[in-house]
Amino acid sequence: MHSKIIQTNNTPFNRVSVDPIILDIIENSLRNAREQMDATLFRTAMSPGIREQGDAFPMIANVDGKMVVGQFGSFIHGFLEGFDGELEEGDMIFTNDPYSCGGAISHLNDYLVIKPIFKDGRHMAWAAHFGHMTDVGGRAPGSMPNEAREIFEEGVAFPPVKIYRKGELQDDIIKIAIRNSRMPHWNQGDFKGVIAACNVAERQCIEMADRFGDDVLFSALDELLDRNCRAMRQLIMDTIPEEKQTFEDYICDDALGGGPYKIRCSMWREGEVVIFDFDGTDPQSPGSINFLMNEEMFKMFCGTFMISAFDPQILFNDGFYDYIDVRIPDGCLLKPNRPAALSCRTHALGRIFDVLSGLLGQGNPDFLCGAGFSDSPHFMYSGHDKNGEWYQLYQIGFGGIPARPMGDGPDGHSLWPGFKNVPNEFLEAYFPLRIETFESITDSGGAGYHRGGNGIRMAYHFLEDGEISIHDDRWLTYPWGVNGALPGQRSTKEITRADGSTEFLPSKCDRVAVQNGDILYFNTWGGGGVGEPLTREPARVLEDVLAGLVSLEAANKNYGVVITNDIVDEIQTTRLRKEQMDGKPITDKLFNFGGDVEEIRARCLAETGIEPPKAPDFSKVKRAAR
């Protein structure tokens, strides 16, 4: 690390035994402090992305920077490696540059603030928070241009700098940030909310130390990490095979006509350590779909997935990181070299969860989930209203969550568990649009014994002339099904113009002109199913049909269930299922990807008229030292 902590009191903390009851109280106090950090930001923020959807991630860490409570894993290790200087009481660091912090944050919109917490002159812990700013400059409103070739086109980058120095606000930095934003009042409010959230964490940690004792709190932070470490070590030994497993999935395109892009990962265990090796992943893209994936962040992804799938009772924190070894080749899609563009990195970020599912499930097919954590669709709409005032919407869409071994996938749910939907009433009150349709897309979830979650159709009726940008994926590749199930439906974007003409839009496009009266149908993907559809209980299929989640035709074709007058015909269902089962080819494949590559390309062209991407041209990549 290049940074140095300056203390006025160098008396070390003592590691002491913590009573189990006190440890539980401290654990819940830390959880509460984390919730108060969010509450402070959400009540202060002005942008709907943070205020309504919660696109922000807090954490409290021990003195080594290991997250004890939080959601997105520790950002501190990468930040400290990128900050060359001294840190003392009253300092607070700000950055939004992924290349300056090893990918601890992954694009310029994410403003990261980190605060060392001191008590009586001793460094005791860390607080950190980052939030997505609606606009930080760049070539397109929203600062997430699909067609960017370099990060310089995406906005203003701040390397790690002191936003507070010995307790004094460096207001010039905030002035520079808001001057380069199309939404300066939102940027300023959100930025200061992130700062305030870190101050809340500091107060709460000091109060806990006053209540329980400095040494007790210091020891409790380490004990909570150790407890997680012991549980995860056992989980790794029980569930991860020594035999190498390999899985690959694809990002559909790069908005420049190239694709698909391969993400390949191999996993195996050596002793107590599980290794993830991304050798074989495609080189970095000339476009903006690159994802500078911090190794610590991937460990968090892996831990979250394993805990959710195998033992949800384990407290999630960074304690297990020593048992995971992540290897990402330099210059690949997941570790691009500066100045590679990063603004559309959410496609790869989301796809990592599908890759993890495919990897961890191969050795344990009973725990295998379908695909569907496939993306994080973004929608931007901006322009000047009839009064000449600038408006700018940034919204995250929801898709179909994959089916799980224990049940159906949720319909139209968030990729990230902490995100919320923006109420349609909020959108209509603050932006010149009307939501004509907000509904589940019937039959979009992959059929299976457990059905994949359905995608969502939103119809935006524009009431002012303006421009829209769309970030989405899974329009070419399918969210695959597993263990005999079908894949989910792909995403589409279709616009009906005020004159009645219609056209499909690419899933990645910038600054598309819209006029008053145009309607955009924003259709997200469905989750892949789990298990043979013909074994799903007819009563469950009937419930889906009555709820509008599955059509009568799909109940018949995919599930072999005959429904007449809202009642299952048991005799006809038994007959039909036997016929369909007898006619099915025998296969031992775990995954259903929806067909071979050429078949899928032809199908996509026939359905949308959009030309499928061609093999990427990696010769156009501009490489420089990171």
Let me know if residue 587 belongs to a domain.
Answer: yes
Domain stops at, among 183, 204, 232: 232
Q: In total, how many domains does the chain have?
A: 2
Place of tokens 């496939």: 374
Greater model confidence, 301 or 453: 453
Contact 107, 345 (CB under 8 A): yes
Domain stops at, among 232, 249, 281: 232
Q: What percentage of the chain carries pLDDT values higher than 90? A: 71
Measured in whole angstroms, how far is the alpha carbon of residue 453 from the centre of its chain?
17
Let me know if residue 360 belongs to a domain.
Answer: no
Let me know if residue 340 belongs to a domain.
Answer: no
Which parts of 244-329 are beta strand (E)? 245-251, 261-270, 273-277, 324-327
What's the pLDDT at 230? Answer: 84
Amino acid occupying residue 124? M
Let me know if residue 254 belongs to a domain.
Answer: no
Residue range 400-456, pLDDT digits in tens: 889 988 899 999 887 655 678 889 999 999 999 999 999 999 999 999 999 999 999
Rounded average pLDDT over 587-610: 87
Dist. CA 196–CA 185, nearest whole Å: 16
Say yes or no: 440 and 589 in one domain: yes
Instruction: Assess whether pLDDT exceeds 80 at residue 587.
Output: no
Domain stops at, among 232, 262, 295: 232
Contact 255, 58 (CB under 8 A): no
Q: What is the pTM of this model?
A: 0.92
In 101-111, which positions are buried (b, 16+ CB within 10 angstroms) versus exposed (e)?
bbbbbbbbbbb
Instruction: Assess whether pLDDT exceeds 80 at residue 613.
Output: yes
Average per-residue pLDDT for the chain: 91
What's the pLDDT at 179? Answer: 95
- Select from 289, 302, 309, 359 the least CA-distant residue to 144: 289
Contact 75, 100 (CB under 8 A): no
Residue range 514-540, pLDDT digits in tens: 999 999 999 999 999 999 999 999 999
Host domain of residue 22: 4-232
Contact 462, 515 (CB under 8 A): yes
Residue range 334-376, pLDDT digits in tens: 999 999 999 999 999 889 989 988 998 887 788 888 998 767 8
Instruction: Assess whether pLDDT exceeds 50 at residue 1.
Output: no
- Alpha-carbon distance values, 86 to 1, 59, 127, 336, 456 (Å): 11, 22, 17, 29, 49
Would you state the structure tokens that stand for residue 13, as one six-digit string?
Answer: 């903390």
Would you state the structure tokens that stand for residue 11, as one six-digit string?
Answer: 């008396």
What's the pLDDT at 420? Answer: 81
Residue range 154-195, pLDDT digits in tens: 999 999 999 999 999 999 999 999 999 999 999 999 999 999
Would you state the structure tokens that stand for residue 601, as one six-digit string?
Answer: 């390309």
